[in-house]
Structure 1
Amino acid sequence: MKAKKNVFLMLLLSLVLVLAACGGDKSTNENEEKEKENAGEETTQTGGELVFVTPSDAPTLDPHGKNDTATTNVTTQIFDRLTEYAEDGSVVPSLATEFKNIDDTTWEFKLREGVKFHDGSDFTAEAVKLTIDRIIDPEFASPRAVVLNMIEEVIIVDDYTVQFKTKFPFAPLPAHLAHNAGSIIAPSAIKEEQSGGKKVDENPIGSGPFKLNTWNRGAEILLDKFEDHWNGAATVDTVKVIVVPEQATRVAMLETGEANVMLIGSSDVTRVEAMDQVEIDRVSGTRMDYVSFNLNKAPFDNMKVRQAIAMAINKDDVVQGILDGQGVAAIGPLAPTVVGNFQGLTPLPYDVDGAKKLLAEAGHADGFKTTLFVNEGSKERADIAELVQAQLAPLGIEVSIEIIEWGAFLDKTAAGEHEMFILGWTTVTGDADYGLYALFHSSQFGSPGNRSFYKNERVDELLDTARSEADQEKRNAAYKEISEILVEEVPMVYLQHPDFVHGMSGIEGLFVNFSGTPFFKDVKLKK
């Protein structure tokens, strides 16, 4: 077993760049690999098929269609973006070659020439305008619009120059364009959809290193390498994404070599680390896992009920017990690595007696019955649900657990059909705006992120102010007040900030960014 760790200690945003520090350690097996290379022996091969196993199918292959991990993991391979997050966490050009501020509300991007889409057409400024206009169009109603809806207008200067006019000064724009929501779609695909033909979901034409071959919904997705990719063709010929809901089965496939890469559940990390021929890639990222409430339904519209539940859940039991120490307990919604995170928050204490008192004050001294939604395919979330069920029982709260298929889970929680649910949120941009605005602004109810249906006018005001403020210290002050309000009002129980741990069998060259997204372009199969 060889362990590879990329630990991001801090992402620092300074107008354009999101910077992070990273460190690594590798076991002595790497020395053996180096000895082979020094001896002239090739350890990898060109071509072949990379197998990625995942608990859930992508609900869509339209990068504007859903805001979820399964969609991101696949569409990242199909589409390119104007910018990307480098291995050190900085924002670097991709389909753009350079970018700069013209004035407080204007950004100019120079575009890369010679780029081809999968349909053979050229990448130009038209594709950028069509793509961004689509995602920010209120009639299209993309759940990912929040990532880029600060853009007011896209101006084509010439075929290879575009300008973005923003509604207010927005320093993190280059980082937001690196989000999967910034994936550039071929004009032919957008125009066909607009004329009543195939939707982008069925016709995902990008310029990325892989193109869609087949999609057997609910079972597998097959991607072929794009020979004409502007940055060179991928090393493997194909990527097969196989949907395997059972976590134990996925781990077994990794151990036997049937699968090459998978995201490892925290409870299985120790087991996988002990496997021969399996490597570990670990990233301390920007995710927060949580138990959320529907504030439109009683009794969760009562803050004392929410506080009582939060005080009755022992987060150490989650992190150290269920997750085997693979992360840190959360106090508020922002991970320590997120720019704008305030580290001096006072947590609600773990206090079962205090929780009982609050519940009685709320008029529920004898408790109540409720249902907790959990998505299929996550052993950890199912285990957390059982822990929550057990730890709320002394309060007289009887929790029924309902395991739901991923796509249906997203639809039900977006529609407000839930009472409680368990989910996670990754601050993909590394900046507090994305970690807070989508989850807690009242304009973002449902699929954009605010599935708690939380509304607080002061929080809305502060979020809007921080979005339009160029001074990072003033932004930090706003995020501090927001975080303090959110800890007190508990629209969700902030559980933990996990590491992203991927298991790799028979491959090398995998890159996983700080949001946990794997990139397959440079992966090579071992001989």
Structure 2
Amino acid sequence: MIKLSSRMWLLVAMAAATAFLVACAAEKEAPTAPVATIAPATPKPAAPAAPAPTREPAAPAAPAAPAAPAATAKPAATAKPAPTATKAVTPKAPTGSIVVAATDNGIAVGTVHLCLPGCENEKVMYSGFETLLRVTADEELVAHLATEWTLSPDMKKWTWKLRKGVPFHKGFGEFTADDVVYTVNSANTKITKDSIHDQASDLVSYGETVKIDDYTVVMSMLTFDANGPWSPWSPIWQTIGMSSKKVFDLYGTDGMRGVFVGTGPYQIVEWITDDHTLLKAVPNHWFKTPAVDQIRVVEVKEQASRIAMFETGQAQVVEAPVQFLPQLAKKGGVPLQTGSRQFVVRFTANYLDFINPVDGSPVANPGYEKAKGKAPWVADHDAPGCDYSVYETSLPEGPVCKEIENARKVRTAMAMVIDREEVVEALQYGYGWPDYINYLSAKSPYMRDEWAIPYDPEGARKLMAEAGYPKGFEFQIWVGDNPEEHTTAVAGMWEAELGIASTFDRIDYSTKRKQWVPREAADAQMEFSTMGMPPDKPLGGGSSNWGLGGTAKEGGNPFSRITYGLMAQEPDPQKRIEYAEAWWAHYDHWKWIFAVAHRPLFKVYDSNQLVWQPESKSNNGLLWLYPLEDIVWK
């Protein structure tokens, strides 16, 4: 077998990606999709035909939206403020239409407790559903569907006062406390046991939400949660939009799957998974009446096709990789950064947390049981001489047995043969930077020099030999539809330097999630993870049993359980950061997950026709189109 160097694997990855793009660019356009609300099973060609943007005569003026009352409790912002955007002139009523070319248009599920990843954030991104709170462009937390929010003295209850007079779409009545109770309790796995909601793991500290009167609700907490009220009650990070209880009462669990009724500036008229989403402006909206009457979001996975649609006028907004920004600028394309992502490798089958932190009951981890002692990167901590307690501290405080240490050496070796500088330069065209630690940017002031992973193939081979794998091994890893150039390059470096032969699992996210939720996955994964969290946001919820019922793709360990419990209950931001630093040190040592590269995300709009100066903000790259209501005609 001919072995390629790491540099050659980068070139192979680039060539494969380029060939793929050229082939995709040559594909014919697809006909317009039929009206439907649930996705067809058949695959869709790359670039659906899109009408040119239209402008209509202005309609009569809409009344101004009422001003939002000030909140009674507003925590200090954790991110640095940004300059306030200059407000564009908004027409009196919605006119015209535009097309957005997106990599993914999400997963269309209207039923709250069935709204899996790919669904909830997208409802808010489309400005179809609204959140209790909003974050301004200068990162101030302000009232939205809620007008006041108050934390009880014992830090165990949030009391929310709700805005009066906000109508749901399609004549489903006024937004009230019943809708908040329905939405939050449906997403919460402690209340709705079969919930697979996207943000279920963000509600781990919450008990039941109850109605006090038509415009007041109380959310009880099992423990204080330092994420609140920012997350998930505003779009700054993972978020929850409010759904209608009347819709659920009318249609039921199955009937509501294809029904989308929110309160946002846009109404979701159609949403066909893997195809398109059609949005219609809501006239006289309580918060802000959009300028653009109709927005059609088409899913076009091939980036060459998206770029071509923008250049030929078929799309006025496009999700664009950084290397195309200069090219799009020649056509009037103006970029707006929508966040950033971190390319990570997760050794998922290390499900090492066996306790439910809420009630102390034992938790089974089938994926770990299948992988332990078989996968070189998963240790059997029950082997003779091993002590599970070494996982319970930031760094081991006692001797570590050979079984556990060898698995760590394998994970460390796999991190050391990745040439991160070349990944950024060759695959990201110099945009971004190398990263090393899960959920920590290398540009962060909290990054330590000793956490940087050296590019050291020789040292890595030595570790592999010490662990008993001098010739490598076979390695199955889920990559889904993540960028082929990144996954191919990293896997190629493992094979070239360590003899690790990777097999890619490309099944779709929603199918793979059925293994992650019950912790049955016995493999690893590579993907781009969304960044942008404040440094004191509680860590470890997704990598411990605090996230039971959620997407357990990060594996799990007892130190994450301990860390999340401490951070979530700690009101002092500086102490939360100290806990975070101990958690980052833990991940640097054990390499349960390691990062490869940091990549900024951009959306590009056609400045020949549009002005887009966002007055609301999200750091969640999954909400990359938010806020659509701030697009105006030039």
Instruction: Note the 1:440-519 alignment, pairs <5 A.
Output: 440-444=543-547, 448-453=550-555, 455-505=556-606, 506-509=609-612, 511=614, 513-516=618-621, 517=623, 518=625, 519=627
Shift in Å at residue 449 of structure 1? 4.0
Instruction: Give yes or no for contact 2:436–2:442 (8 Å, CA) kept in 1.
Output: no
Q: Give matches, 1:334-345, under 5 Å.
A: 334-336=439-441
Deviation at 1:20, TM superposition (A): 2.7
Unaligned runs of 5+ in 2: 1-73, 350-367, 379-406
Moved more, 355-364 or 169-178: 169-178
Deviations 1:455-493 (A, max 9, x none): 322221122111111122221121111111111111222
415, 419, 434: which is aligned to 1:329? 434
Instruction: Check the 8 A contact 1:211/1:224 in 2, yes or no.
Output: yes
CA offsets per residue over residues 82-127 of structure 1, 9 Å max, x none?
0122212232211012223232222222211110011321011111
Alpha-carbon separation, structure 1, partners of 2:442 and 2:486: 24
Deviations 1:29-76 (A, max 9, x none): x9xxx9xx9xxxx99995122212222241234465456457523443
Task: Check if 1:80 corresponds to 2:113.
Answer: no
> Structure 1's 329 and 68: CA in aligned 2 closer, same or farther, altered over 3 A?
farther
Secondary structure of the corresponding residue to residue 375 of structure 1: coil
Which amino acid is 1:118 matched to? H
CA contact (8 A) 1:332 1:487 kept: yes
Which residue does the alignment assign to 2:180? 128
With over 3 angstroms needed to count, the CA separation of the structure-2 counterparts of 1:24 and 1:330, relative to structure 1, is farther
Residue of structure 2 in register with 1:48 after alignment? 96
Instruction: Rate the CA distance shift 1:290–1:330 in 2: closer, same or farther, 3 A.
Output: same
The answer (yes or no) to whether the contact 1:438–1:444 under 8 Å persists in 2 is yes
- Structure 1, residues 221-256: CA drift from partner, whole Å, max 9, x if none? 112122252113221111211011211101111222
1:169 aligned onto 2:227: no
Which of 289, 294, 300 pairs up with 2:343? 289
Residues of 1 paired with 2:429 and 2:76: CA distance? 37
- 2: distance between equivalents of 1:449 and 1:280? 32
1:159, distance to aligned residue in structure 2 (A): 1.9
Task: Give, in angstroms, the shift of residue 169 of structure 1.
Answer: 2.5
Change (3 A) 1:45 1:321: farther
Q: Report what 1:260 is aligned to.
A: 316
Task: Quickly say closer, same or farther: Cα 1:433–1:268, change in 2 above 3 A.
Answer: same
* CA–CA distance in structure 1, aligned partners of residues 327 and 115 of structure 2: 33
Match of 1:397 among 490, 500, 511: 500
The aligned residue for residue 426 of structure 1 is 530
Deviation at 1:203, TM superposition (A): 1.3
Does the alignment pair 1:182 with 2:240?
yes
Instruction: Give the superposition deviation at 1:147.
Output: 1.5
**Candidates 370, 385, 406, aligned match of 2:487:** 385
Correspondence for 2:377 among 286, 294, 300: 300
Give 1:5's aligned residue.
none
Structure 2 CA distance for aligned equivalents of residues 51 and 128 of structure 1? 32
Distance 1:128 1:44 in 2: 31
The equivalent residue for 1:6 is: none
Match of 2:163 in 1: 112
- Identify the match of residue 303 of structure 2 among 247, 253, 262: 247
Match of 2:141 in 1: 91
Contact 1:61/1:75 (<8 A) preserved = no
Q: What TM-score results when the alignment is normalised by the length of structure 1?
A: 0.84
Residue pair 1:224, 1:239 contacting (<8 A) in 2 also: yes
Structure 2 CA distance for aligned equivalents of residues 95 and 303 of structure 1: 48
Instruction: Provide the secondary structure at the position in 2 that maps to 1:422.
Output: strand
For the residue of structure 2 that corresponds to 1:439, the secondary structure is: coil
Q: Does 1:198 find its partner at 2:255? A: yes
Partner Cα separation in structure 2 for residue 372 and residue 478 of structure 1 = 31
- Amino acid corresponding to residue 560 of structure 2 in structure 1: V
Structure-to-structure mapping, 1:272-283, within 5 angstroms: 272-273=328-329, 275-283=330-338
DSSP-derived class of the 1:364 partner: coil
- The answer for the alignment partner of 1:20 in structure 2 is 80
Of the two, which has the highest radius of gyration?
A: 2
TM-score normalised by the chain length of structure 2 = 0.70
Shift of residue 220, structure 1, vs aligned partner: 1.1
Check 1:340–1:119 CA distance in 2 against 1; reply closer, same or farther (3 A cut): farther
* 1:503 shift after superposition: 1.2
| Structure 1 residue 341: Cα displacement | 5.3
Report the more deviating stretch, 470-479 or 338-347: 338-347
Q: Name which of structure 1's ranges 462-471 and 317-326 shifts more when overlaid on structure 2.
A: 317-326
CA distance in 1, matches of 2:266, 2:284: 10
**Aligned amino acid, residue 22 of structure 1:** A
Q: Is the 8 A contact 1:114 1:122 kept in 2?
A: yes
Contact between 2:541 and 2:561, CA under 8 Å: does it hold in 1?
no
Which one-letter code corresponds to 2:488 in the other structure? E
Gaps of 5+ in 1: 1-13
Matched, 1:209 2:265: yes
1:431 deviates by: 5.5
CA distance, structure 1, for counterparts of residue 596 and residue 80 of structure 2: 24
Q: Which amino acid aligns with 1:94?
A: H
- The answer for the alignment partner of 2:425 in structure 1 is 320
Structure-1 separation of matches of 2:118 and 2:610: 22
For the 8 Å contact 1:85–1:513, the answer to whether it is kept is yes
**Offset of residue 405 of structure 1:** 4.4
1:150 is matched with 205
Identify the residue that residue 7 of structure 1 maps to in structure 2: none
* Residue 349 of structure 1, CA deviation: 1.8
Query: Quick check: which one's strand share is greater?
Result: 1
- Paired with 2:312 and 2:561, the residues of 1 have a C-alpha distance of 50
1 CA distance for matches of 2:533 and 2:109? 21
Report the CA distance shift for 1:319/1:407 in structure 2 as closer, same or farther (over 3 A): same
* Alignment-mate amino acid for residue 312 of structure 2: T
Tell me by how many angstroms 1:521 deviates: 1.0
Task: Give, in angstroms, the shift of residue 366 of structure 1.
Answer: 0.5
Confirm whether residue 102 of structure 1 aligns to residue 152 of structure 2: yes
Q: Is this contact kept in 2: 1:116–1:123, CA < 8 A?
A: yes
Task: Give SS of 2:278's match.
Answer: strand
Percent identity reads 22
CA distance in 1, matches of 2:513, 2:328: 29
* Contact 1:348–1:488 under 8 Å retained in 2: no
User: Aligned AA for 1:425?
Assistant: S
Distance 1:338 1:432 in 2: 16
| SS, match of residue 264 in structure 2 | coil
Q: Which range is displaced more, 126-135 or 364-373? A: 364-373
Distance 1:343 1:187, change over 3 A: farther
SS in 1 for 2:630: coil
Distance in 2 between residues matched to 1:286 and 1:169, nearest whole Å = 29
CA contact (8 A) 1:339 1:432 kept: no
